[in-house]
């Protein structure tokens, strides 16, 4: 009897706050929650097609860079995930996942097409991460330093461009890019702290074939990132 009375009291309370039914009340809570948790856009409404093209290109390149970084860390975790270095790589990967998720939201919100090179990034990024991780922690950290240095330099270039254009107009976007830039610099410094610069010594004792492969992959990565970020200032949109 006591349990039945408690259930009846709960039902009366739910009807008092939500006359239709408890189900409708839960639905209202879901709607309110989704509205309250919705993030505001970091982009101002574009003034013209030229500004829209500039912002679209900027976001497209940022999204591609974060996607590639995610695939590299995925490759590293596939090799070193169960070692002592695993938690360190996972921590940096979790931050990159957050970056990518945010850019996915922004691209979807503003209907920006991702780069057509994502399939290439998918395979090449994972392969680069896995191959460098095969050299051990030092190889993975050397890869991290090279990647994060390129991405942080790219973010700095974007910050300078937006500051010269109109810092007040792009306040939210600048704040987002600076936050992500700081994360990339942190990853870069973490790599240096974990013996990234000793990778050449490790490679000396590793197989010659693996050394050549990793060296070529790192050179390719540096060239590709430089070329890819360069086209941000051109009329070409991959």
Residue set of the binding site for Fe cation: 66, 96, 99, 148, 184, 187
- Give the whole-angstrom CA distance, residue 58 versus residue 36: 28
Q: What are phi and psi of 85, to 5 degrees?
A: -80, -15
Binding-site positions read 66, 96, 99, 148, 184, 187
Checking 25-30 for CB contacts under 8 A at 24+ apart, the result is: none
* Interatomic CA distance for residues 216 and 208, integer angstroms: 12
For 27-36, the CB contacts below 8 A with 24+ separation are: none
Neighbour tally for 105: CB within 10 Å: 14
CA 221 to chain centre: 17
- Helix ranges (DSSP H) in the chain: 2-17, 22-36, 49-80, 86-109, 118-133, 137-165, 171-193, 199-205, 208-230
* Spatial contact of 99 and 42, defined as CB atoms under 8 Å apart: no
């Amino acid at each position: 009897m006591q349990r039945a009375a408690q259930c009846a009291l709960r039902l009366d309370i739910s009807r008092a706050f939500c006359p239709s039914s408890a189900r409708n009340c839960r639905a209202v809570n879901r709607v309110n929650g989704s509205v309250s948790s919705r993030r505001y856009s970091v982009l101002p409404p574009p003034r013209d097609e030229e500004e829209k093209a500039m912002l679209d290109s900027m976001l497209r390149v940022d999204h591609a860079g974060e996607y590639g970084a995610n695939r590299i860390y995925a490759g590293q975790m596939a090799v070193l995930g169960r070692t002592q270095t695993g938690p360190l790589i996972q921590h940096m990967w979790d931050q990159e996942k957050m970056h990518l998720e945010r850019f996915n939201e922004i691209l979807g919100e503003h209907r920006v097409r991702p780069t057509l090179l994502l399939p290439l990034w998918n395979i090449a990024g994972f392969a680069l991460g896995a191959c460098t991780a095969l050299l051990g922690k030092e190889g993975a950290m050397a890869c991290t330093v090279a990647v994060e240095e390129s991405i942080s330099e790219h973010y700095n270039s974007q910050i300078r461009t937006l500051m010269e254009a109109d810092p007040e107009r792009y306040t939210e976007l600048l704040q987002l890019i600076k936050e992500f830039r700081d994360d990339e610099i942190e990853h870069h410094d973490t790599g240096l702290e974990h013996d990234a610069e000793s990778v050449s010594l490790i490679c000396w004792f590793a197989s010659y074939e693996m050394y050549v492969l990793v060296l070529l992959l790192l050179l390719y990565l540096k060239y590709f990132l430089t070329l890819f970020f360069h086209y941000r200032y051109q009329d070409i949109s991959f």
